[in-house]
Chains A and B, each alone.
Chain A
């Protein structure tokens, strides 16, 4: 298996633009997680899905952030409009069950100018 796949690996955009990050989890994994990592706040959970259904989005910072999982092999994290403080590395992870270890993707480094 190729592991968790994320795209793009790097994204540079201007403030106010819409940004869409993509994730393909490991096949057969029922859970998908979105994290954000910054120097100031470390690694934070934003939202997670079980069988394509969002379960806990309490970590989503504000309404500018939204996440979807239209099918078992694809999820998106969208920021609209983007702001410089959204600059971070965004990771997607998946796990077979809720209590199993999570496998992380390589991350998307987002820079908002």
Chain B
């Protein structure tokens, strides 16, 4: 069963913020939200993860709602190189595998 729901595709203008949503309404208390992306012809790349607090790193910000049923990955200033498939994955830290769904295909347009 899919634990997350993402829109199949999104467009974003270069230089603008890209906001990628993810629904995970059945998330349990010990499960983290992970984001990966896969640029064409490359392996998936880890972006960020969080449990309940918002997180930020050099690549992106992760905003998790207070009820933890949804989250948003924010790329603050999207570039053409951010065009990729973005995967939102829910996983605990006790041994669950990463299960990759179809993700969101983000196209950054010039």
A residues adjacent to B (C-beta < 8 A): 4, 42-45, 48, 56, 91, 93, 98-99, 101-107
How many contacts between A and B, using CB within 8 angstroms? 36
Residues on the A chain within 8 Å of B95, using CB: 98-99
CA A61 – CA B42 in complex, angstroms?
23
Interface centre among A42, A56, A91 (most CB of B within 10 A): A42
How many residues does chain B have at the interface if contact means C-beta atoms less than 8 Å apart?
A: 17
Cross-chain contact A43 with B100 (CB below 8 angstroms): yes
Residues on the B chain within 8 Å of A105, using CB: 43
B residues adjacent to A (C-beta < 8 A): 34, 41-46, 49, 93-95, 97-102
CA A102 – CA B85 in complex, angstroms?
17
Cross-chain contact A104 with B94 (CB below 8 angstroms): no
Cross-chain contact B97 with A93 (CB below 8 angstroms): no
